[in-house]
Amino acid sequence: MPKKVTYHSLKQSLHNPIASSQYGMLETPDLRFFGRSEQLHLAYLGIFAFQKAHNRLPNNSEEDFQEVLTHIRRINEENKASEGITLEEIDERVMRNATLYSRACITPMAAFFGGVVAQEIVKYTGKYTPLKQWLHYDIFETLPRE
C-alpha cells in the first residue's frame, strides 16, 4: 500500500532534527554510542556557523576548535529558548573530532556514503522506506588514540 511521507524543510530540520525523525529521536546506527547523533548534529551546526563566518571549514588547529566550540555553546543556549536541539552536556571529545577533521576526505567514508545515497535513490521507486531526513555516522574509533 502506498504511504504518504512528509518532511520538514531543511531550516526546520537543522533547528530541530528530532521533530523530523520517525521515532521522536535521532536514529543511532551504533547503539554503543546512544546520543552521539545529537552531539554530532550540534557539532555540525557549530561548524556551519564557523564556515559562514570565515567562508572556510575550520583548520586542524586549537584556535579554530575553540571558536567552533563557542558557536556550539551559543547555539545550544539559543535552542533551549526556541525548542531546537539541545544537549544537557556537550561532549568536547566528539566536538573536537568533528571540528578538527571536518576538512578531511576519507575515501572509505566517501564510498560508504555513496552506497547510502544509492540505496536512497533506489527507495525513490517506492519499494522501501527512505531515511527520515538524518543519518549521523562517524568512525572516531579509527582515529589515533591520544
What is the distance, to the nearest Å, from the Cα of residue 136 to the centroid of all Cα atoms in its chain? 5
Q: Where are the domains positioned within the chain?
A: 10-140
CATH class of segment(s) 10-140: alpha beta
pTM of the model: 0.80
CA neighbours closer than 13 Å in the CB half-sphere of residue 52: 8
| Each residue's pLDDT expressed in tens, for the chain with a length of 146 residues | 767 777 778 888 888 887 766 655 566 666 667 778 889 999 999 999 999 999 999 999 999 999 999 999 999 999 988 888 888 999 999 999 999 989 887 778 888 888 888 888 887 777 777 777 777 778 777 777 76
DSSP H helical segments within 16-137, as ranges?
Answer: 17-20, 36-54, 62-81, 92-100, 107-123
Residue 79, classified by CB atoms within 10 Å of its CB into exposed (0-12), middle (13-18) or buried (19+), is middle
